[in-house]
Each structure stands twice: as C-alpha cells, then as structure tokens.
Homo-oligomer: A and B are copies of this chain.
C-alpha cells in the first residue's frame, strides 16, 4: 500500500501538564524522520485556533537540541486553547475553514494532544474530512493530569502530577508535625470529577508520611461524617492531614465552600467562593479549635517538570512517536492508549482506541478501590499507581535553575 504523502500538523489543547511537551517531542522528532512521506512538520499555535487562524510554526527549522529539551519543559510550548467546535449540523464554518487550510498547506497528517474534549474535536474534524473526500490521517495523543480518559490504562501527565502530589505530601507531613501542639492540614488537589490525583496522596501514606483521610469526588461528601473522621484521628494523633479533591460534593451537588457557608465579600459587596482547602481548614479550626493550615497545590501539581516521573516522560514521548508511526502506516481515527499486562511486572504496552469510543467518556476511580468508610483508597490503587511514578526525570540545569526549551517559532508561510 502506498503511503499518504504530504505535510503534518500537531496541536496542543486544554490545560497543560509537566509532560505534554514530551509528547510534542515524540511527534516532532518522529515526523521529521519520516522524510519522503511527511514533507513539512507544523506546530499549531494554540491548538486548532492556530489552524483556523493559519498561525503555525515550521518545526523543521528548530534546533534538534531544543526539541530534545521539550521532553523536560512543562506547559504547552506551542500554546493551548479551550476552543470547542460547534456540532457540524449546527454550524459548519470552522470545519470548512479547517478543510481550506488543510488543502492550502497540503496537510495529510493531523495529530491532536489533549483530553476528552480534544479527542472529541479530533474525531469531528476527521469525520468531516472523510465526508469531504479529503484524505488525512488523524491520530489523538492523550494528555491529562486528571487521568480520566476512557479506554487507556492511564494518561500521560497523570503520573508526574501524582509523583509531585505524593512527594509534596510527604514533605508537608514532616513539616506539619514539628510542634508538640495539635494541628490539622488540609491539602486541596485538582480533579473536578475524577479522584485519581487526590488518591495519589495515598502513595505518601504508603511510605509512612501521608494523609490520614482522603476524600474523592467519586464518593458523596458528608460534612458531619468528615468532621467525625477528623475528630477520631485528632483524638489519637493530635495531628491530622486531609487530602481533598477540589471537586467533592454532597449528594445534593453542593461543593464544600457552599456547604460550610463561607463566602468572602469584597469592598464592593460581591460574594466570592473561597478555595476548598482554606474554607475547610477554617471550618475545622472552629469545630476543633486547633491550629490549621489549608494548602492548595494549585498549578504546581501540573507544571512541576523538575519532579516529573521518568516513566511518564518516556511514555508521553512514546505516545507522540507512536501516533506518527501509526498514521504513516495508514491508520486514522484512533487515540494512542496504554495497557499493562494482566499480571506480573508493570510494562507499558500500546493500545489503539477508536476515537468514537473515547470521546467524552470519563474514567473514574473504581469504587472497589475506595475503602468502606469512603475516606481512603486501598492497596489496589497503590498497585495501580506506584509503577507509574518510578524514575526521576533529569531536567537540564543551567546556573542552578531549569534550562527549558527555547523554540524559534518560525511562522509557516505559503
């Protein structure tokens, strides 16, 4: 079978991770190696927004050493977007524009790196190209710290965030118990709908320096139950560490800041919903009367490349590389996914998941991995997550600080 000859474009979408650029490095280095098949390799500025605006970079002009540095550079080097395509039946403007740009630049390979929404976008674009009789191979590259993509054992980006969360929790654990007085620490972790990241704090407990209680969005939150849990630990230990997902809510759908009734009022009288960690810590201070500290791991949990998992960096690179190889081999409409052997040692095996299946389905922490009390995860989660955080990414250092990739970003012209 003859190979599709033309140009390739790659875009990054949604919230960045520590390793999303490692997938970019995988796509770019592999695509640049496919001479005779792929002619030009483009990087879209801000995902599909860059395609619609015809703003993309000629990656062949980048220094290979800088592309190598992408492996250890956090965030989205090309820029990202949260642009949602309309349904084709409602509005075909963007689709037509995309086709026009693809034709103009002879783009025959489209790689898109993102989470659920981005895979949906990928799928819609591919279907439209097919309907229009325009030949283009489309492969999705997974990405999300939330680890909620359907069909894959885990998602690139999750393990590095998990390693950051576990390591930081271990360090905070030691810091939060230096005094012989009582103290409660609340650590707020990302993941609105899926508790994978918050559950990762259990890895710190596995090493003896972790939280006492873990609350995931998979379990209906009950403030009274939590208070009882905290009081029990406090009575015994005089110290409590709580890992809580930003997304926990009661069965009535109320989030913690609403529940505790803490709203801040600014100088203009406007109400402002506070962060979960702070309001929960304040609530516990009032109820229990000891010193408290609310900690939000904020952007750090998704951008701390200096603490990335080597396994995650390598797998993210592999995902990008595999996407190109599959597309060049004539495959289209798949997302690259991972699976592991059913038993025995952990090994990352590639699995291709049809975009039709993956789009817009969320994967959550299985309920049988959560304890009966609904306030911790069991050994099954540890066995799942531990292999993924192995190995320390070695970032390039210059003058005691990270040396991140510097791209020339030469705009493509026609």
Contact = CB atoms under 8 A, between A and B. Distances in A.
Interface stretch (A88-96, A245-253, A267-275, A373-381): A267-275
B283 A266 contact: yes
A413 to B, nearest CB: 20
Contacts of A282: 264, 266, 272
A193 to B, nearest CB: 20
A264 B174 CA distance: 30
Given A274-B274, A278-B274, A305-B171, A401 B264 contact: no
Contacts of A166: 401
Given A180-B46, A264-B264, A392-B397, A306 B402 contact: no
Interface string A286-306: 100000010110111011111
A400 B46 contact: no
Interface stretch (A123-131, A347-355, A363-371, A383-391): A383-391
Contact count band on A = 35 or more
A174 B74 contact: yes
Interface stretch (A79-87, A103-111, A147-155, A324-332): A79-87
Interface stretch (A2-10, A61-69, A201-209): A201-209
A261 B266 CA distance: 6
A410 interface: no
A175 interface: yes
A160 to B, nearest CB: 11
A239 to B, nearest CB: 12
A171 B307 CA distance: 11
Of residues A390, A391, A397, A399, which shows the largest number of chain B Cβ atoms within 10 Å of its Cβ?
A399
B267 A299 contact: no
Given A46-B179, A178-B79, A267 B262 contact: yes
Given A74-B175, A266-B286, A300-B171, A386 B400 contact: yes
Contact of A286 (B261, B270, B293): B270
Contacts of A391: 400
A286 B299 contact: no
Nearest to A309: B400
Of residues A178, A179, A286, which shows the largest number of chain B Cβ atoms within 10 Å of its Cβ?
A178
A49 interface: yes
A263 interface: yes
Given A80-B179, A262-B264, 7 more contacts: A45-B180, A74-B175, A171-B306, A209-B404, A264-B272, A295-B296, A295-B299
